Amino acid sequence: MSGAGPVFVYEPELVEEAVLRALRSTGLERRYQIERERCYAITDPEDRDQAFRRLFHRLFQELTLDRPLIDALLKRPHIAASIETVAIARAPSSREEGADLFARPDGEPGRRFGLGVALTADTLAAAPAMKRLLDRELLHIDDLLDPGFGYDPAEARPRGPAIRQNLTQGRYRLLWRASVLSRLVREGLEPAAAYEAAQRELQSAFPAAGAALDEFVARLHAGVRPTHQDMLDLAERGRAAADDGQGPQPGSACALCGFPTYGFEASPETIPAAALSEIRADFPAWTTKLGLCPQCADLYRARHSGPSLANKEVA
């Protein structure tokens, strides 16, 4: 990128691993072996390490392994204009690959962010895999930088007990993924099949969302980008059983924990009043008509069943 662009900082070990993988498919492997022997011939350990670093840096440039990241940022000039440093580090596995923003603590105007990118050596060594990952990740970053998206880290955490928060975060990721893929398909950067797969994931994750999910998908089809709050609201209520006057149906999700169940609590109205009060405090929209699974019912009952004999003092 130009001299006014962000500074790229690669983890040296990641560069070495990626270069070694990429060399296998090029004609440079023999040359690398010759230059490696020259490095090993250097007696001073620090000089030898520096020689290896220079060798891998040069090969990294010759193999153009940095090109996919530069190209991806050029396609998202709003990101490039907002960040000062791009730090590329090794991800433990492909599941941990991704990108994230880091705000500068001084709050000075202008460039205020750093961009962290976690990659495996296999991905960094393979341009198509890099391009696909970066196209998706940088569109997430572009959303975060856009005030119209409405993301506030201080207000972003879902409400409710920990298990509910985890399930909400998982559903939120699926909604955001579908939003990103729908836009990448329109830009010609993803095949339509990728977005169709994301839609199927939504249908599986939101079996009782009904019209709310249909409206969300329709907006994506129309090219409307949902805001952070749109997706958070849908994620928080997306798996609650439909209150259609007939109660929860077998196979639908528990309104509390979000897990599907075929055996709902038979008589939720018989749960102790104190336990029902706690449920409503944790889930204000819950009613006994929405039901709950036996596991959640037992959990709340246990909190209000009084001390067990094991906890009583023995005279």
Amino acid 303: pLDDT: 80
Instruction: Please check the confidence at residue 236 and state whether its pLDDT lies above 60.
Output: yes
Reported pTM: 0.72
Average pLDDT over residues 96-112: 73
pLDDT in tens, 173-228: 999 999 999 999 999 999 999 999 999 988 877 766 678 888 999 999 999 999 99
Instruction: Please check the confidence at residue 67 and state whether its pLDDT lies above 60.
Output: yes
Question: DSSP E strands: which ranges in the chain?
Answer: 7-10, 83-90, 98-103, 113-119
What are the phi and psi torsion angles at 102 (to 5°)? -130, 120
Amino acid 168: pLDDT: 80
Instruction: Please check the confidence at residue 155 and state whether its pLDDT lies above 80.
Output: no
Amino acid 262: pLDDT: 78
Among 160, 137, 138, 114, CA closest to 6 = 114
Amino acid 105: pLDDT: 53
The amino acid present at 30, given as its one-letter code, is R
Between 138 and 203, the more confident residue is: 138
Instruction: Please check the confidence at residue 103 and state whether its pLDDT lies above 90.
Output: no
Between 162 and 206, the more confident residue is: 206
Amino acid 315: pLDDT: 33
Average pLDDT over residues 142-167: 77
Amino acid 310: pLDDT: 37
> How far apart, in whole angstroms, are the C-alpha atoms of residue 301 and residue 307?
12
Between 69 and 249, the more confident residue is: 69
| Helix (H) and strand (E) counts in the chain | 13, 4
Average pLDDT over residues 62-71: 94
Amino acid 109: pLDDT: 55
> How far apart, in whole angstroms, are the C-alpha atoms of residue 195 and residue 178?
6
How many Cβ atoms sit within 10 Å of the Cβ of residue 255? 27
Amino acid 312: pLDDT: 39
- Percentage of the chain beyond pLDDT 70 is 84
What are the phi and psi torsion angles at 163 (to 5°)? -65, -35
Amino acid 240: pLDDT: 47
Exposure string for 129-150, b = 16+ CB within 10 A, e = fewer:
bbbbbbbbbbbbbbbbbeeebe
| Distance linking the first and last C-alpha atoms of the chain | 78
- Residue 160: pLDDT band (50, 70, 90) is low
pLDDT in tens, 21-34: 999 888 788 889 99
